[in-house]
């Protein structure tokens, strides 16, 4: 990793920033640690609207926490109603663009009416704050509308990403014991229809507890509607009032559960509640994205994963932002779709993932260079460590060396960003998520929980509870306790390896199970990958450790190549030497395999677990429900023979 380059914030950016200069950041941070009750209490009062004030800012009975105890609040009210009394009433909440090119522009006033009307539909069907809903929809405005309508009535929701299979949907419906499913006929992705209702029908064969299915019309294709169970969204809404007061809910009322893969085959339902979650999402919009009222903001993630929950729906709407919402793929109809959108809506803030950036790098600079990207003022990254080569490209080709990049570290479990730069304060180092946000006390520790020295690798833990942290695993508090709070007793165990450099910067090195040990050298898969992708022929690389009798583990690299004709035998040797030069001889891959594609989750994370299985057992048996394209794995495993 390049640790030597530092990018201080540009004076023009500092001058207008929400948090200007390191001293301001440090003062904020210090206060949050010294007097957390005061700090969070004041913010909650100032930044959110409450029906009733809390009696205690937080109650910590490790590992269970409550924030704003006794307070009454509603997330939907905070995202909508409170803006209607301000200049934001007729401000655009979403510029929506469908993949085929259809457009909608929705103001806060209009969104409020849509949400209220749909909430009245749910209320009339008898759903209450004791219910749970599964939402399985494409990226259309009705998806946030469904979430906010549930939140309005205290119906806990669980959004299942539209790319998930019927099987994955089924296990989530069953685990949640949901009575309500909200879906659509389909959505558009790479010019093809993703037939969601068909998948829902398949899943629902084994979900007798589901009483009602509400179907939104998006593609207009014909679907099966089961009488007595299924109804059309637009038919249910006929003649329904758009006046539906938001219910005052306990600050700790469940807002949503979002399923994520753990180390076992069974996905975990990560539970978030209302007050603390909303405060975390709202504050990070202002601190990390430096959000201004006049900004056009675009988080290009899918709402079906946590980034979309916190940074497309709850955070931006609570903060009163104008967002872009895009339904489809970045390569449809061509690889400049994103840059067309940026220039068309004059996007100021763009938030995406390293995997997307690398896919764009692979297509070449011509695509972004054809468009006017001068509206951009801030770029963000999330989901995995960003390798310095991708960082530099993002900075130069997209940000034109004008825009700070906020590398945001967080997890489904953390609810909102915990480690990231404040762009008007923090000098950036490419590949480092930099410093903790207010109230967050991360530390890098060894397996006994003791802090390791600067520069040394260890486990990343968080020492104190923060407002937006998960409250439990749905239906499994024991697993919550074991997985997150017992590895290092009293601290939250992130599952990530990290290093803190001599300047105090945090470098996240990837999941703990992605760390290899080669001849006694601890080596992150990420470091080797980062080296490989610097080679001009390499598009993407995934590295896993395979058991080796002599060295403990040996480095095995799966590599996809940029367009061109390459001599594989020759190139493998060259890449090995390249890595040896970049990191050291011990890091030299024992094996390089050229692949057509790498197995990834739908949020773009490379599933190294599968690659590890392929190199160790030559088969794949574990949970693959989060995989984007299963054929990638069968092809890789077949190449084995
Ligand atoms: C938001 C999200 C969480 C895991 C986390 C890390 C990795 C996420 C970064 C990162 C390095 C980052 N939620 N991760 N962001 N690693 N730098 N900026 O991704 O639950 O799906 O994944 O993602 O390993 O533990 S998640």
Per-residue pLDDT of 382-420, as tens digits, reads 988 888 889 999 999 999 999 999 999 999 999 999 999
Q: How far is the CA of 160 from the centre of ligand 1 (A)?
A: 19
Measured from the Cα of 419, ligand 1's closest atom is: 18
- The predicted structure's pLDDT at residue 630: 63
Decide if 307 contacts 382 (C-beta within 8 A). Answer: yes
State the chain's mean pLDDT as an integer: 92
Measured from the Cα of 494, ligand 1's closest atom is: 25
Q: Is residue 380 part of a domain?
A: no
As a whole number of angstroms, the distance between CA 501 and CA 457 comes to 10
Q: Is the CB of 411 under 6 A from ligand 1?
A: yes
Q: Is the CB of 496 under 6 A from ligand 1?
A: yes
Nearest to 547 by CA among 610, 594, 617: 617
Q: What is the CATH number of the domain that holds 594?
A: 3.30.300.30
Decide if 153 contacts 123 (C-beta within 8 A). Answer: yes
Q: Is the CB of 307 under 6 A from ligand 1?
A: yes
Phi and psi at 79, nearest 5°, equal -85, -20
Q: Is the CB of 499 under 6 A from ligand 1?
A: no
As a whole number of angstroms, the distance between CA 259 and CA 269 comes to 4
pLDDT-wise least confident of 245-249, 440-444, 456-460, 531-535: 531-535
- The predicted structure's pLDDT at residue 641: 41
604 pLDDT band (50/70/90 cuts)?
A: confident
Phi and psi at 601, nearest 5°, equal -75, 170
Percent of the chain with pLDDT over 70: 94
As a whole number of angstroms, the distance between CA 282 and CA 280 comes to 6
Q: Is the CB of 410 under 6 A from ligand 1?
A: yes
As a whole number of angstroms, the distance between CA 55 and CA 52 comes to 10
Which residue's alpha carbon is nearest to atom 17 within ligand 1?
Answer: 385
Q: Is the CB of 457 under 6 A from ligand 1?
A: no
Q: Is the CB of 408 under 6 A from ligand 1?
A: yes
Buried b (16+ CB within 10 A) or exposed e, 411-440: bbbbbbbbbbbbbbbbebbbbbbbbbbbbb
| 396 class by beta-carbon count within 10 Å (0-12 exposed, 13-18 middle, 19+ buried) | exposed
As a whole number of angstroms, the distance between CA 595 and CA 613 comes to 16
581 pLDDT band (50/70/90 cuts)?
A: confident
- The predicted structure's pLDDT at residue 580: 85
Two structure tokens written together for 367: 């695509």
Helix-helix angle 21-34:36-47, to 10 degrees: 110
Nearest to 305 by CA among 168, 210, 432, 186: 168
Q: What is the CATH number of the domain that holds 216?
A: 3.40.50.12780
Q: Which residues contact 574 (CB under 8 A, 6 or more apart)?
A: 535
- The predicted structure's pLDDT at residue 267: 75
Q: How far is the CA of 310 from the centre of ligand 1 (A)?
A: 14
| 386 class by beta-carbon count within 10 Å (0-12 exposed, 13-18 middle, 19+ buried) | buried
Q: Which of 260, 276, 292 is the last residue of a domain?
A: 276
Phi and psi at 361, nearest 5°, equal -60, -40
132 pLDDT band (50/70/90 cuts)?
A: very high
Helical residues (DSSP H) of 298-395, grouped into ranges = 306-308, 315-318, 337-345, 354-363, 366-369, 388-393
Q: Is the CB of 244 under 6 A from ligand 1?
A: no
* Number of residues that make up the chain: 641
pLDDT-wise least confident of 81-85, 87-91, 184-188, 602-606: 602-606
* Torsion angle (degrees, nearest 10) of CA 26, 28, 32, 38: 150
* Of residues 604 and 500, more confidently modeled: 500
Q: How far is the CA of 494 from the centre of ligand 1 (A)?
A: 10
623 pLDDT band (50/70/90 cuts)?
A: low
Angle at alpha carbon of residue 391, lines to 385 and 395, rounded to 5°: 150
pLDDT at 381 over 80: yes
Q: Is residue 133 part of a domain?
A: yes
Decide if 598 contacts 629 (C-beta within 8 A). Answer: no
Distances (CA, A) of 190 to 187, 194, 332, 429: 10, 9, 6, 35
Decide if 355 contacts 388 (C-beta within 8 A). Answer: no
Nearest to 589 by CA among 574, 610, 608: 574
Nearest to 479 by CA among 305, 277, 269: 269
Question: What's the rounded mean pLDDT across residues 165-192?
Answer: 93
* Of residues 569 and 202, more confidently modeled: 202
Specify which residues 157 forms β-bridges with.
133, 256
Question: What's the rounded mean pLDDT across residues 527-538?
Answer: 89
3-class DSSP string for 155-182: CEEEECCCCCCHHHHHHHHHHHCCCEEE
As a whole number of angstroms, the distance between CA 223 and CA 219 comes to 10
- The predicted structure's pLDDT at residue 201: 97
Which residue's alpha carbon is nearest to atom 11 within ligand 1?
Answer: 385
pLDDT-wise least confident of 340-349, 436-445, 564-573: 564-573
pLDDT-wise least confident of 43-47, 87-91, 528-532: 528-532
pLDDT-wise least confident of 93-102, 176-185, 423-432, 514-523: 514-523
244 pLDDT band (50/70/90 cuts)?
A: very high
- The predicted structure's pLDDT at residue 263: 56
Residue indicated by tokens 């510029």: 95
Q: Is residue 489 part of a domain?
A: no
Q: Is the CB of 384 under 6 A from ligand 1?
A: yes
Q: Is the CB of 382 under 6 A from ligand 1?
A: yes
- The predicted structure's pLDDT at residue 155: 98
- The predicted structure's pLDDT at residue 1: 47
Question: What's the rounded mean pLDDT across residues 241-256?
Answer: 98
Q: Is the CB of 302 under 6 A from ligand 1?
A: no
pLDDT tens-digit map of 265-315: 467 899 999 999 999 999 999 999 999 999 999 999 999 989 999 999 999
Q: Is the CB of 409 under 6 A from ligand 1?
A: yes
pLDDT at 214 over 90: yes
pLDDT at 610 over 90: no
- The predicted structure's pLDDT at residue 549: 75
Question: What's the rounded mean pLDDT across residues 69-85?
Answer: 98
Using DSSP's 3-state secondary structure scheme, residue 540 falls into: strand
pLDDT-wise least confident of 179-188, 366-375, 399-408, 502-511: 502-511
- The predicted structure's pLDDT at residue 230: 98
As a whole number of angstroms, the distance between CA 65 and CA 343 comes to 44
Q: Is the CB of 495 under 6 A from ligand 1?
A: yes
Decide if 576 contacts 541 (C-beta within 8 A). Answer: no
Decide if 344 contacts 375 (C-beta within 8 A). Answer: no
Q: Is residue 134 part of a domain?
A: yes
Q: Is the CB of 83 under 6 A from ligand 1?
A: no
Number of domains in the chain: 2
Q: Is residue 442 part of a domain?
A: no
pLDDT-wise least confident of 6-10, 351-355, 361-365, 625-629: 625-629
Question: What's the rounded mean pLDDT across residues 187-200?
Answer: 95
In 512-602, beta strands by DSSP E: 515-518, 521-524, 538-548, 552-561, 591-594
Q: Is residue 94 part of a domain?
A: yes
- The predicted structure's pLDDT at residue 352: 95
Q: How far is the CA of 383 from the centre of ligand 1 (A)?
A: 4
As a whole number of angstroms, the distance between CA 121 and CA 607 comes to 40
Pocket test residue of 312, 384, 391, 460 for ligand 1, highest count of atoms within 8 A of CB: 384
578: domain range? 518-640
Decide if 253 contacts 273 (C-beta within 8 A). Answer: yes
- The predicted structure's pLDDT at residue 359: 85
As a whole number of angstroms, the distance between CA 573 and CA 282 comes to 50
Q: Which of 276, 310, 341 is the last residue of a domain?
A: 276
Q: Report DSSP state, residue 483.
A: I
Phi and psi at 190, nearest 5°, equal 50, 45
Decide if 499 contacts 460 (C-beta within 8 A). Answer: no
As a whole number of angstroms, the distance between CA 459 and CA 469 comes to 18
Q: Which of 247, 276, 305 is the last residue of a domain?
A: 276
Q: Is residue 174 part of a domain?
A: yes
- The predicted structure's pLDDT at residue 537: 94
As a whole number of angstroms, the distance between CA 290 and CA 481 comes to 35
Q: How far is the CA of 395 from the centre of ligand 1 (A)?
A: 20
Which residue's alpha carbon is nearest to atom 5 within ligand 1?
Answer: 411
- The predicted structure's pLDDT at residue 165: 77
Q: Is residue 485 part of a domain?
A: no
CA neighbours within 13 Å on the CB side: how many for 119? 29
Question: What's the rounded mean pLDDT across residues 478-486?
Answer: 94
End-to-end CA distance of the chain: 35
């Amino acid at each position: 990793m390049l640790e030597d380059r530092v990018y201080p914030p540009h004076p023009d950016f500092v001058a207008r920033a929400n948090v200007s200069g390191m001293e301001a950041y440090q003062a904020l941070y210090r206060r949050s640690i010294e007097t957390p009750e005061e700090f969070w209490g004041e913010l909650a009062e100032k930044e959110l609207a409450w029906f009733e004030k809390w009696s205690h800012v937080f109650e910590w009975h490790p590992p269970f926490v409550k924030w704003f105890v006794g307070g009454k609040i509603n997330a939907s009210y905070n995202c909508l109603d409170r803006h209607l009394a301000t200049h934001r009433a007729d401000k655009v909440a979403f510029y929506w663009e469908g993949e085929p090119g259809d457009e909608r522009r929705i103001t806060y006033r209009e969104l409020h009416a849509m949400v209220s009307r749909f909430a009245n539909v749910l209320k009339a069907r008898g759903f209450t704050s004791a219910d749970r809903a599964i939402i399985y929809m494409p990226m259309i405005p009705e998806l946030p509308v469904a979430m906010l309508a549930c939140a309005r009535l205290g119906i806990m929701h669980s959004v299942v990403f539209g790319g998930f299979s019927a099987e994955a949907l089924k296990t989530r419906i069953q685990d949640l014991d949901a009575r309500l499913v909200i879906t659509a006929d389909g959505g558009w992705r790479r010019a093809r229809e993703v037939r969601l209702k068909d998948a829902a029908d398949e899943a629902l064969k084994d979900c007798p507890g589901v009483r009602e299915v509400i179907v939104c019309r998006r593609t207009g294709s014909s679907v099966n509607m089961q009488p007595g169970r299924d109804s059309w969204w637009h038919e249910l809404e006929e003649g329904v009032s758009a006046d539906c007061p938001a219910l005052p809910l306990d600050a700790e009322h469940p807002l949503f559960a979002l399923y994520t893969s753990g180390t076992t085959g069974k996905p975990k339902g990560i539970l978030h509640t209302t007050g603390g979650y909303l405060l975390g999402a709202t504050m990070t919009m202002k601190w990390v994205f430096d959000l201004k009222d006049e900004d056009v903001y675009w988080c290009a993630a899918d709402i079906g994963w946590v980034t979309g929950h916190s940074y497309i729906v709850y955070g931006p709407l609570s903060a009163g932002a104008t967002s872009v919402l895009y339904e489809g793929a970045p390569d449809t109809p061509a690889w400049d779709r994103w840059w067309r959108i940026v220039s068309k809506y004059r996007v100021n803030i763009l938030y995406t993932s390293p995997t997307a950036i690398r896919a764009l790098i692979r297509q070449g600079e011509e695509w972004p260079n054809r468009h006017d990207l001068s509206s951009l003022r801030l770029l963000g990254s999330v989901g995995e460590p960003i390798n310095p080569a991708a960082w530099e490209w993002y900075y130069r080709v997209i940000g034109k060396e004008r825009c700070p990049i906020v590398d945001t570290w967080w997890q489904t479990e953390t609810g909102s960003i915990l480690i990231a730069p404040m762009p008007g304060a923090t000098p950036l180092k490419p590949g480092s998520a930099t410093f903790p946000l207010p109230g967050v006390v991360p530390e890098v520790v060894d397996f006994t929980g003791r802090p390791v020295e600067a520069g040394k690798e260890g486990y990343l833990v968080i020492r104190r509870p923060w407002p937006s942290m998960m409250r439990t695993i749905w239906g499994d508090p024991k697993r919550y306790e074991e997985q997150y709070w017992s590895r290092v007793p009293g601290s939250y165990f992130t599952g990530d390896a990290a290093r803190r450099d001599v300047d105090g910067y945090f470098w996240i090195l990837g999941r703990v199970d992605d760390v290899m040990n080669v001849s006694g050298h601890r080596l992150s898969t990420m470091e080797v990958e980062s080296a490989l992708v610097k080679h001009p022929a390499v598009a993407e690389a995934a590295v896993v450790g395979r058991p080796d009798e002599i060295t403990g583990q040996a480095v095995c690299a799966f590599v996809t190549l940029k367009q061109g004709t390459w001599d594989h035998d020759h190139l493998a040797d060259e890449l090995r030497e390249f890595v040896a030069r970049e990191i050291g001889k011990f890091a030299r891959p024992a094996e390089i395999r050229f692949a057509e594609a790498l197995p990834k989750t739908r949020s773009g994370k490379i599933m190294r677990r599968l690659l590890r299985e392929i190199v160790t057992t030559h088969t794949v048996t574990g949970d693959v429900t989060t995989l984007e394209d299963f054929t990638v794995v069968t092809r890789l495993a077949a190449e084995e023979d």
